[in-house]
């Protein structure tokens, strides 16, 4: 019974606002390695978004090189990767042919999305993230027409479902009926729920969704893009693994990887379960409290040795008035905190300067402003300093 570890959306190199997350990502990958050791999968499958940006920083590249070496070289477990919408399909596949000999399979080519890679008795198909015009161009140049596949003209600029359908018709035609087949894809599938905060949306104005029925005909469908682990309603074998770490304050949900035990008989339902990944530093949201109460709670928690004061925290306060030096005061207690003040009462003072602005002297305007700000008249020394400054300015202007 082949066993697959399904994961996705690592987003190596990502920041949480102004906080770097490479240390947290390294720890998350160490927890993933512990699952690999405990579960002994026949292959690890990453369903896209290995990196957070197409040109990742050096630290993210080093982390990728380390984890790939740990899985493939140190443990001898094949690793299958597809590009997501945050990855560069070309960059992620550098030296892919050499890497494949060691057990790292980067399936980054749309033209070969119908060609399965057989690993540990499982045929794995990888559909990298793509935009419909790319598939339309591929379909228009293909000599292989199929009545079941959409014609190139039927694939609109935002019709991700038609694009996926064209790719998968060819994949189904070529699948071996005697071998379990797993499809890896990075896409938004209708019925999966809202896309995550901070994620580049694929679903815009009702366009961008792949229909669940389009993904039928495979023993398991390993999805990437959504950051919370979930199965498609009514389609238990079509599943998002979710991200390894929360990447937004609205994403403070449990993280996990998915273990899939394929049945011995092709077409039989696999056994699927989640293995949780508990992070040391959590991502939390506190709201509906005053700034003073939040500081007081944090001080008491720090005195008690509560490690949660070091979590990544978004504090959404109920104060309506200005808070002096708020962020610096907040980070003395919560070093990894951000502050939001949704409502600030602003009192506009419509006070006008006396006299005609066209004839009012600079000195008189300053004296009126000084009185407005301080509620008092300047001293004789301050007046003398003002006159000297204005005199020097006049001399400089006339020079």
* Residue 96 belongs to domain with CATH number: 3.60.21.10
Instruction: Convert the pLDDT of each residue in 110-122 to its tens digit.
Output: 889 999 999 999 9
Residue 166 lies in a domain: yes
Within this chain, do residues 318 and 232 fall inside the same structural domain, yes or no?
A: no
Model confidence at 101, pLDDT cuts 50, 70, 90, reads confident
Within this chain, do residues 264 and 287 fall inside the same structural domain, yes or no?
A: no
Q: What is the DSSP letter of 84?
A: -
CA dist list (Å): 15 to 23, 57, 109, 230, 246 = 11, 11, 29, 24, 11
User: Mean pLDDT of all residues in the chain?
Assistant: 88
Q: Which domain holds residue 167?
A: 3-277
Average pLDDT over every residue of 212-226: 94
Average pLDDT over every residue of 321-343: 92
Residue 357 lies in a domain: no
The CA angle 112-186-256, to the nearest 5 degrees, is: 130
Average pLDDT over every residue of 119-148: 85
pLDDT at position 398 over 90: no
Model-level pTM greater than 0.85?
no
- CA distance linking residue 363 with residue 372, whole number of Å: 14
Instruction: Convert the pLDDT of each residue in 306-325 to its tens digit.
Output: 999 999 999 999 999 888 89
Do 111 and 143 contact (CB within 8 A), yes or no? no
> Who contacts 363 (Cβ-Cβ below 8 Å, separation ≥6)?
386, 387, 390
Residue 345 lies in a domain: no
Instruction: Convert the pLDDT of each residue in 33-70 to its tens digit.
Output: 999 999 999 999 999 999 999 999 999 999 999 999 99
Within this chain, do residues 297 and 377 fall inside the same structural domain, yes or no?
A: no
The count of domains in the chain is 3
Within this chain, do residues 268 and 289 fall inside the same structural domain, yes or no?
A: no
Within this chain, do residues 154 and 269 fall inside the same structural domain, yes or no?
A: yes
Average pLDDT over every residue of 226-251: 91
Q: How much is the pLDDT for 334? A: 96
Do 223 and 186 contact (CB within 8 A), yes or no? yes
Do 121 and 95 contact (CB within 8 A), yes or no? no
Residue 238 lies in a domain: yes
Within this chain, do residues 261 and 317 fall inside the same structural domain, yes or no?
A: no
pLDDT at position 351 over 70: no
- Gap between the terminal Cα atoms of the chain: 92
pLDDT at position 14 over 80: yes
pLDDT at position 340 over 70: yes
| Burial class for 165, CB neighbours closer than 10 Å (0-12, 13-18, 19+) | buried
Average pLDDT over every residue of 20-28: 95
- CA distance linking residue 334 with residue 149, whole number of Å: 56
Residue 214 lies in a domain: yes
CA dist list (Å): 157 to 7, 131, 140 = 29, 8, 14
Within this chain, do residues 253 and 334 fall inside the same structural domain, yes or no?
A: no
SS3 for 158? coil
């Amino acid at each position: 019974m082949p066993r697959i570890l399904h994961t996705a959306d690592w987003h190596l190199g990502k920041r949480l606002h102004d906080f770097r997350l490479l240390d947290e990502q390294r720890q998350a990958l160490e927890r993933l390695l512990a699952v690999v050791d405990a579960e002994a999968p026949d292959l690890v499958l990453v369903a896209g978004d290995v990196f957070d940006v197409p040109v990742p920083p050096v630290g993210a590249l080093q982390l990728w090189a380390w984890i790939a070496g740990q899985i493939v070289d140190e443990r001898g477990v094949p690793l299958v990767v597809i590009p997501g919408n945050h990855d560069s399909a070309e960059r992620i596949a550098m030296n892919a042919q050499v890497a494949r000999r060691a057990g790292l399979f980067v399936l980054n080519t749309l033209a070969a999305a119908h060609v399965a890679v057989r690993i540990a008795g499982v045929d794995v198909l990888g559909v990298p993230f793509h935009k419909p015009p790319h598939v339309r161009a591929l379909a228009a140049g293909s000599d292989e027409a199929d009545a079941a596949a959409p014609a190139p003209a039927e694939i609109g600029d935002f019709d991700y479902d038609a694009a996926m359908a064209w790719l998968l018709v060819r994949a189904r035609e070529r699948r071996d009926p005697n071998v379990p087949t797993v499809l890896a894809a990075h896409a938004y599938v209708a019925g999966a729920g809202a896309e995550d905060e901070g994620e580049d949306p694929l679903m815009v104005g009702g366009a961008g969704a792949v229909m669940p029925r389009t993904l039928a005909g495979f023993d398991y469908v390993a999805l990437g893009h959504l950051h919370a682990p979930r199965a498609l309603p009514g389609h238990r074998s079509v599943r998002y693994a979710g991200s390894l770490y929360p990447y937004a304050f609205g994403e403070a949900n449990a993280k996990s990887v998915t273990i899939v035990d394929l049945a011995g008989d092709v077409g039989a339902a696999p056994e699927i379960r989640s293995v949780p990944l508990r992070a040391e530093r959590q991502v939390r949201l506190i709201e509906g409290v005053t700034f003073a109460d939040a500081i007081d709670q944090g001080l008491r928690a720090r005195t008690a040795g509560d490690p949660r004061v070091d979590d990544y925290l978004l504090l959404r306060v109920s104060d309506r008035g200005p808070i002096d030096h708020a962020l610096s005061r907040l980070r003395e207690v919560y070093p990894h905190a951000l502050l939001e003040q949704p409502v600030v009462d602003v009192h506009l003072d419509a006070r006008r300067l006396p006299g005609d602005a066209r004839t009012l002297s600079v000195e008189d305007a300053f004296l009126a402003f000084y009185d407005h700000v301080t509620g008092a008249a300047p001293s004789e020394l301050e007046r003398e300093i003002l006159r000297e400054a204005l005199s020097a300015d006049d001399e400089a202007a006339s020079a």
